[in-house]
Amino acid sequence: MAKNSNLRQAKAAKKDEFYTQYADIQKEVNAYIEYNPDVFRGKTILLPCDDPEWSNFTKFFAQNFEFFGLKKLISTSYAIESKNYKTDWQPTLFEIENPLYNADKSRLKGKIFTLDHDTNANGRIDINDLQWQYLEGDGDFRSEEVTKLRDEADIIITNPPFSLFREFVAWILEANKQFLIIGNQNNICYKEIFPLIKDNKIWLGRGFAGGAGHFVSIYEDIAVAGDHKPGMIRVSGVHWFTNLEHGRRHQPLQLMTMADNIRYSRHKEVNGKDYMKYVNYDAIEVPFSDSIPSDYEGEMGVPVTFMDKYCPEQFEIIGISLTLATTKPANLPKSQQGGPAFYLLDENGYKRLYPRIVIKKKQQP
């Protein structure tokens, strides 16, 4: 129950310290490599908002530097003094034992790690060739120096601070860069993000199994016992957002006709029932992505979780209820009031729905 709200709470409380597991990065990046083995070849990758001394992003891309054919890897961190959450933080031995170590800078400055050549002359470029120094500032992605690194990069990859997701996407797109970043299902509905998804300028990545991920975190895990992993926090509704191509988004959903859904659906909300029309918008309500009728030509409202299965060759996105619902029924009971939403009406009265994405079957040429 509470597990669903971890990320929402994180944002509200500006809890940004969630660290991504190596296996999750590997699984996601594999989807792009499978689709295009040269996706990273000759490219400069920037990993901002990271902690390069122990980040799995830095580790993963440094270890695969040659395999991916990278030109350059740049990774930057955010100074401990600037973070919202102060821990009894200590610099790592790696830093303390390095001649560059400076106790003041260590707390106040971000760091930059770069990898672009074989510094130790062992015949290969790998994690041992990373070079580092302190940044001039704290490593804020919005700073001039990190923005310059963005401009130098071809692709930006990270798990950015959840509290700054919109700003982070805007920062990437104003420079017209490719990217692969982690965000939350709610981000899909943001007024700054949804139009980009609708216009197929950005989309969801391959994703986390079951739409939930475990992150290394300093915060208390409130996941149900079965999902708990020591030292980690379970975050549900977590997604990768990207503008890099991958194969999964081109696989159409296998769907039944409306009649077959009504006859055979495994969902009690669909089986034996008619598809209902919204009271305040001309579309039918489809409560589950696997219940989309293959033979319906009109507009259909689907839950936001559909975006995970969206294939642009199969469906066109018309909009989202948050902007399409311009009217609402009169005299709504208090429990059904709120911001723009679609409504259904049955024998129990009006029912206000969670955000719906409105889609339409794509006309085949």
Ligand X SMILES: C[S@@+](CC[C@H](N)C(=O)[O-])C[C@H]1O[C@@H](n2cnc3c(N)ncnc32)[C@H](O)[C@@H]1O
Contact with ligand X (CB under 6 A) among 57, 134, 208, 342:
57
Closest distance to ligand X from the beta carbon of 133 (Å): 17
Contact code string over 94-133 relative to ligand X, x by CB under 6 A: ----------------------------------------
Half-sphere exposure of 330 (CA within 13 A, CB side): 0
Look at the alpha carbons of 125, 128, 134, 135 in this order and tell me if their dihedral is positive or negative: positive
Q: Which residues pair with 300 in a beta bridge?
A: 284, 359
Q: Is residue 141 close enough to count as binding ligand X by CB under 6 A?
A: yes
Contact with ligand X (CB under 6 A) among 6, 24, 29, 55:
55
Residues for the chain: how many in total?
365
> Residue 36 corresponds to which tokens in the numbers above?
């295009």
- Which residue lies nearer to ligand X by CB, 116 or 167? 167
Contact with ligand X (CB under 6 A) among 158, 187, 242, 261:
158
With tokens 């503008």, the residue in question is 243
Burial of 7 (0-12, 13-18, 19+ CB in 10 A): buried
Kindly state the DSSP code that residue 126 receives in the 8-state scheme: S
Say if residues 58 and 50 touch (Cβ distance below 8 Å): yes
CA 188 from centre of chain:
9
Contact with ligand X (CB under 6 A) among 6, 106, 114, 159:
159
Q: Is residue 237 close enough to count as binding ligand X by CB under 6 A?
A: no
Nearest-CB residue for ligand X: 159
End-to-end CA distance of the chain: 45
| Count, residues near ligand X per rule CB under 6 A | 20
Q: Is residue 355 close enough to count as binding ligand X by CB under 6 A?
A: no
- Which residue lies nearer to ligand X by CB, 165 or 306? 165
Closest distance to ligand X from the beta carbon of 20 (Å): 4
Say if residues 285 and 353 touch (Cβ distance below 8 Å): yes
Q: Is residue 219 close enough to count as binding ligand X by CB under 6 A?
A: no
Rounded Cα gap, residues 214 and 227, in angstroms: 9
Rounded Cα gap, residues 259 and 208, in angstroms: 33
Q: Is residue 179 close enough to count as binding ligand X by CB under 6 A?
A: no
Contact code string over 9-48 relative to ligand X, x by CB under 6 A: -------xxxxx----------------------------
Q: Is residue 140 close enough to count as binding ligand X by CB under 6 A?
A: yes
Binding site for ligand X (CB under 6 A): 16-20, 49-50, 55-57, 78, 83, 139-141, 158-161, 164
